[in-house]
Amino acid sequence: MRGWAALYGALGAVFLVFGLLSVLLLIAGAPTELGWIGANFVIGLVLLGGAVFTSLDTLSERLRSGESRRIGKYGSSAMAQTVILVAIVFAIGFLATRYHKRWDVSESKVHSLSDQTKKLLGSMQQDIDVTAFYSKVDQARARELLDRYQYVSDKVKVEYADPNSRPDLVERFHVDPEKIGEGMLFVKIGDESTSVEQPDEEKLTNAIVKLTKREHKTVYFVTGHNERAVEGKGAEGKEGFQRAAEALRNENYNVQTLVLGAKGEVPSDADVVIIAGPTRPLLPEEHAALQHYLERGGALFAMVDPRAQTDLGTDLQHWGVTLGDDVIVDRVQGMFGQAMTPLAGVYAPHPITQDMREVTIFPTTRSLSVSKDRGAQLTEIVKTGENSWAERDLDQLYNKGIAELDEKVDLKGPVTIAVAGKPAVQTPAPPPPAEGQAAPPKPKEPRIVVFGDSDFATNQLLDAYRNKDLFVNSVNWLLGDVEAISIRPAKSRASRLSLSEEQFTQVRSLSLFVLPELIAVLGVWAWWTRRRAPGR
């Protein structure tokens, strides 16, 4: 067959073959649409019928073409294409030597500087002098990192020095030769300097932060009620908060622990008080201490897990936040299929979450609700997905492992799991100024951040997705360091795509049926058009 008959015949064969393959997959147990099978057979038979009908006419003699003419035609075309390709490559190389542009196609942008680093470099008024003590063989590793900093800011000045050939620099900067090892960076800003061993973006940026921050604010972690440990026994374990405390120290904050029962009051130098996962009640004096702290303009960060045997919820309710007696369930966007470990990605336009684009993970979290009856000004900053709900039949959930959405009882998603803002606390008015004296400064407004989970900031999960950013940004906001709120350096991780059952069915149908058949049809069309080309 020739001409249109050949096209109809080949396409008809394609549709019939895929119809037969679909039948075989259906027999083998793979879910297949019967309508898809029927459509393939009908279209295939119609096309084959068309091929037979059109080929009944007298076949025309194949046009002959001179072989030399065809070779000359395609030879000159190939030559022209080669010349054009060489010219394009030359132009790209010429432009690349004069203009620099970087692309990072990794999912978590691990080959680009984070928002935190870009903000920091953009605010620098002084030069950042970096001396890289590396041998010539090892300089490539440091150069890849430092080139990113120089690409973002011209304030970064880098000098590469082989410690074997430049002992004068080692002596001038008072660098311990034993610490150089496989290489190190010496960072100097003004009169302040520090060294960075085995550098990566996080370590180098933290070094710059420490050299530029002069004010050391203090963050207290409350202890004594079985909270997450930040030091001592349990701090280094997967349930501990040692890495969370270290993340705050990297922001140049002073981190300490606080036993409220021993002090009786929150220390006057406390810029933020964190209560992370308490499981025992507070003493009456401790409740009063927290109330007095907020009344004088304090900042409180509370993380209360579901079913925690703590009475902190009474204080939170008095301040405008109600803890739900429930557990969030999400069967669609649960981590690794675990319905009680939802991924949250709905963020409010709040300073804490304004730069958040990726999800955060919360193993076993509860719902929160806010009340404005007492004058609280609170924002629901983090919510779970639309397919989630707050399961309130906890006996059935924990004893039988059954969770079913009951819209009359349960709270349908998106469900709020974090709030931030001004609590319902009356700060005392300052006394009137004496005659001839200036008015006293306006008292600080209290701030609180509340999460229905503390697991998200543990050593095990702090670096998962954007959990660290959410935790540290919350402390930044409570401290009033809005300029420090950012997205920090990312780490490589395995990509994960969450699909609903309907979406999975669509992807499977596209990959097994639609795309292969479309490729076959296009292949037949390309074959037929080349066959009909002049000179063929």
Does residue 140 belong to any structural domain of this protein? yes
Structural domain boundaries enclosing 175: 115-206
- If phi > 0 it is left, if psi is from -120 to 50 it is alpha, else beta; for residue 337 that is left
What is the average pLDDT across 385-406? 89
Residues 282 and 381 in one domain: yes
Of 206, 229, 262, the one marking the end of a domain is 206
Q: What is the DSSP letter of 63?
A: P
Does residue 353 belong to any structural domain of this protein? yes
Residues 153 and 57 in one domain: no
What is the average pLDDT across 360-388? 91
pLDDT of the residue at 15: 84
pLDDT of the residue at 60: 43
Q: Rounded distance, CA 218 to CA 90, Å?
A: 58
pTM of the full structure = 0.65
Q: What is the largest CA-CA distance in the chain?
A: 116
H helix or E strand, kind and range, residue 272: strand 272-276
Residues 469 and 511 in one domain: no
8 A C-beta contact, residue 103 and residue 148: no
Does residue 522 belong to any structural domain of this protein? yes
Does residue 182 belong to any structural domain of this protein? yes
Q: pLDDT digits over 139-183, tens only?
A: 887 888 888 888 888 899 999 888 878 888 877 877 776 667 667
Residues 289 and 412 in one domain: yes
Q: What is the DSSP letter of 334?
A: B
Does residue 489 belong to any structural domain of this protein? no
Q: Note if the bond before 199 is cis, omega within 30 degrees.
A: no
Of 141, 176, 206, the one marking the end of a domain is 206
Residue the block writes with tokens 């309508």 = 35
Would you state the structure tokens that stand for residue 64, as one six-digit string? 């002959």
Does residue 100 belong to any structural domain of this protein? no
Residues 219 and 199 in one domain: no
Residues 224 and 354 in one domain: yes
CATH code of the domain covering residue 365: 3.40.50.880
8 A C-beta contact, residue 204 and residue 185: yes
Does residue 167 belong to any structural domain of this protein? yes
The residue among 438 and 119 whose pLDDT is bigger is 119
Does residue 320 belong to any structural domain of this protein? yes
pLDDT of the residue at 59: 41
β-partners of residue 303 are 276, 451
Residues 371 and 337 in one domain: yes
Instruction: State the total domains in the chain.
Output: 3
8 A C-beta contact, residue 263 and residue 290: no
Residues 220 and 202 in one domain: no
Residues 43 and 140 in one domain: no
Please tell me the total number of residues recorded for the chain in this structure: 536
Query: In b/e form, how buried is each residue of 242-266, taking b as 16+ CB within 10 angstroms?
Result: bbbbebbebbbbebebbebeeeeeb
Residues 138 and 240 in one domain: no
Of 173, 206, 239, the one marking the end of a domain is 206
CATH code of the domain covering residue 198: 3.40.30.10
Would you state the structure tokens that stand for residue 32, as one six-digit string? 């297949």
Residues 314 and 387 in one domain: yes
Residues 143 and 265 in one domain: no
Q: pLDDT digits over 19-32, tens only?
A: 787 777 667 666 66
The residue among 520 and 342 whose pLDDT is bigger is 342
